[in-house]
Chains A and B, each alone.
Chain A
């Protein structure tokens, strides 16, 4: 039995593979429908078939929107069923740790969530570009101007890139943090004290964690603000304390707090799964 420790460490990829297979039965179908709807829209647009265009737009927007909810449903239901339902008898007796079980689900479902939000943005962008190409003359200039006003405060291209990276990281961090908080809430609601009304407790705990998050961010930004300042002279540097009002200032404290919070919730959740949950 001495060689077993090493074998246990190599199971993470297998967990990810199986979590992906479990989730890949339904979610990809929506992406296929999405692609088909966009194809209908493009054909309709090129053949000047208004009916097809409208149907294509309607379906692709609806599916892109639905995908966010479908993915969210899977994030919750798979975690709930596979760990805290009867399937937990299988999951929790696999030769893996609670951290591995949790980590695998966070990776797989975190990526699905990011993909579903990204898909929504990409579909909107795709459709808007098709609509924009029909604009002529002054309309085109107006559309371009309205986009450019978003970046009016940025003196250099490098700063626009930094801002774009900031927005993308913020977006991914919020989505992942959201999933971590959901998993923590569900695990905590299955502790013995809350188990009988676990669904209600899961919602209450989630709302509680969200309020704590908002309050903490607000206080930390007020008293311990950290900003990345994109100055008018094309330089950028860090500012501690309050914003100076010079150039564009990107608050970093929410990201730092989210990172710390996610790590704390991850270990708390894994510990609850390991020590406090009794599968019924």
Chain B
């Protein structure tokens, strides 16, 4: 397997605040990776750099062998933590919009998934609940046949009952051989599907390991996470 994401000596600062400090790691393709860390650890900044939303940083970042930019964006599917749909867009508008820009988008599948998720085709985004908007965005992302999926807290705003459904939709719709990176606080919910994890704290890479290696001692990923981020990390 080759490295699909390569990060070397990545440092990102906002004024005097350094949010990522000399972070280096490589990810092999075809894996499901959990990006784990407490609030303010630098996960979202790392994701924004990988997806080309932040471009002023020090270090080297390669996604699919290219620096994040217009080309890498064509094979990276990104689900941000925020709802990003224009208020005037209906579900159908959103599907057509994404279909216009991404050649790997499966429009027919998206239309079917709107029905499966019971989302009205003609309802405007501004009148949808937050949960409906998140589901719609998930459809827009998972109906792409992308090579890399980067999901920022995909189950953050979803009620516990719907989490399994969402996770199932993500895993089932991910094309074989693609790479999936998810950041989440809900480690317990996703650890069963993860191949490897990256733990970030205070802008530094604290751990990168495979789940099979990590759990050899009998501990779960959630327990390891709690050990790594002991109470002093909360202050």
B54 at the interface (CB under 8 A from A): yes
A1-B147, A11-B101 are contacts. A97–B84 as well, Cβ < 8 Å?
A: no
Count contacts on B: residues with CB < 8 A to the other chain. 33
Task: Let me know if A93 and B78 touch, CB within 8 A.
Answer: yes
Closest CB of chain B to A228's CB: distance in Å? 42
Task: Let me know if A93 and B75 touch, CB within 8 A.
Answer: no
Which B residues lie within 8 Å of A95 (CB)? Answer: 70-71, 73-74, 101-102
Task: Let me know if A18 and B100 touch, CB within 8 A.
Answer: yes
Task: Let me know if B14 and A89 touch, CB within 8 A.
Answer: no
Task: Let me know if A7 and B74 touch, CB within 8 A.
Answer: yes
Closest CB of chain A to B216's CB: distance in Å? 35
Choose among B64, B73, B101 the residue with the greatest number of A CB atoms under 10 Å from its CB: B101
Task: Let me know if B70 and A81 touch, CB within 8 A.
Answer: no
Task: Let me know if A89 and B80 touch, CB within 8 A.
Answer: yes
0/1 string, A141-159, CB within 8 A of B gives 1: 0000000000000000000
Q: How far is the CA of A192 from the CA of B56 in the complex (A)?
A: 12
A51 at the interface (CB under 8 A from B): no
Taking CB as reference atom, which chain B residue is nearest A95?
B74
Task: Let me know if A8 and B74 touch, CB within 8 A.
Answer: yes
A279 at the interface (CB under 8 A from B): yes
B166 at the interface (CB under 8 A from A): no
Which B residues lie within 8 Å of A103 (CB)? Answer: none
Which stretch of B45-53, B176-184, B201-209 is in the interface?
B45-53
Taking CB as reference atom, which chain A residue is nearest B12?
A278
A1-B66, A22-B88, A95-B70 are contacts. A14–B14 as well, Cβ < 8 Å?
A: no
Closest CB of chain A to B67's CB: distance in Å? 12
A1-B66, A94-B101, A274-B55 are contacts. A87–B84 as well, Cβ < 8 Å?
A: yes
Q: How far is the CA of A100 from the CA of B73 in the complex (A)?
A: 14
Task: Let me know if B53 and A279 touch, CB within 8 A.
Answer: yes
Which B residues lie within 8 Å of A279 (CB)? Answer: 48, 53
Taking CB as reference atom, which chain A residue is nearest B63?
A1
Task: Let me know if B71 and A8 touch, CB within 8 A.
Answer: yes
Task: Let me know if B80 and A4 touch, CB within 8 A.
Answer: no
Choose among B14, B15, B64, B74 the residue with the greatest number of A CB atoms under 10 Å from its CB: B74
Closest CB of chain B to A232's CB: distance in Å? 56
Beyond A89-B78, A95-B101: 15 further Cβ-contacts under 8 Å? A1-B66, A1-B147, A4-B71, A8-B70, A17-B100, A22-B88, A87-B84, A87-B86, A89-B84, A90-B84, A93-B73, A94-B73, A94-B101, A95-B102, A96-B101
Q: Please list the residues of chain A having a beta carbon within 8 angstroms of any beta carbon in chain B.
A: 1, 4-5, 7-8, 11, 14, 17-18, 22, 25, 81-82, 86-90, 92-97, 100, 192, 274-276, 278-279
Pairs across A and B, CB under 8 Å, 6 listed: A11-B101, A14-B101, A22-B88, A25-B88, A192-B14, A274-B55
